[in-house]
Amino acid sequence: MSMQITKEILESLVKEELEYSLEEKRKRSRKRTKKRKKSKAKKQKSSGTKDACYYKVKSRYSVWPSAYASGALVRCRKVGAKNWGNKSKKNENLQEELVSRDIQALHSKMKDRYEVLKAKKEKSREEERNELRMKKALDDPGLKQALADDRKRQSLLDLFNFNLEGIISEVIDEVLAEKKSLKNGQALKDQNEQKAAQTQKVSQ
């Protein structure tokens, strides 16, 4: 006995199949939505909440993420994105003036220090030269003899109070002149002694 498919049975089968398909579709859709939400939550957890402060602070700092940027983000969220980073014109001018003043003071301080160091270096070189010349002059016996004379010593001291280089030059010239005269005197004395010795030989 063959079963006769009526219109009612056919409609019932189609309806059941359609409901099954729709249910499967809903399940897949719910699954996708759940997965998307999970992924979004994970992304937000890793990167933080991307609000107006996030974008504003990120655009201001070149290094991201960093401790400075994180601190700025916290401060921004406290005062709000609209209020954060807005400074009055007066405060900006005052800040610029203070920075400019600090730079000028530092520049002046460095310049003064450089001048002091330069002067010390020049003085040190000049003192070394003078000490060397004085040492050479003091080692000479002619200078010791000149210093033994009260008048010469006083004149040297008077000169010393005004011009050290003048003293040294004068003393050196005086010593050299005295040496020259002593050398000439010794040569003349030797010459006279030779003549006397020759005369004595001839007379004998």
Kindly report, residue by residue over 93-102, the tens digit of the pLDDT: 666 676 777 7
Nearest one of 115, 117, 136 to 125, comparing CA atoms: 117
- Whether residues 26 and 55 share a domain: the answer is no
How do residues 112-167 score in pLDDT, each as one tens digit? Answer: 777 877 777 777 777 777 766 666 666 666 656 665 666 666 665 665 555 556 65
- pLDDT value at position 87? 60
Q: How many domains does the chain have?
A: 4
Report whether 52 contacts 77 (CB < 8 A): no
Whether the predicted pLDDT of 28 surpasses 80? yes
Distance CA 152, CA 160 (A): 12
The answer to the question of residue 133 being in a domain is no
The answer to the question of residue 2 being in a domain is no
The answer to the question of residue 199 being in a domain is no
The answer to the question of residue 198 being in a domain is no
- Whether residues 186 and 144 share a domain: the answer is yes
The answer to the question of residue 135 being in a domain is no
Provide mean pLDDT across the span 36-63: 73
Domain containing 23 equals 9-47
The answer to the question of residue 203 being in a domain is no
The answer to the question of residue 166 being in a domain is yes
**Does the reported pTM lie above 0.95?**
no
CA angle 83, 88, 92 (to 5 degrees): 125
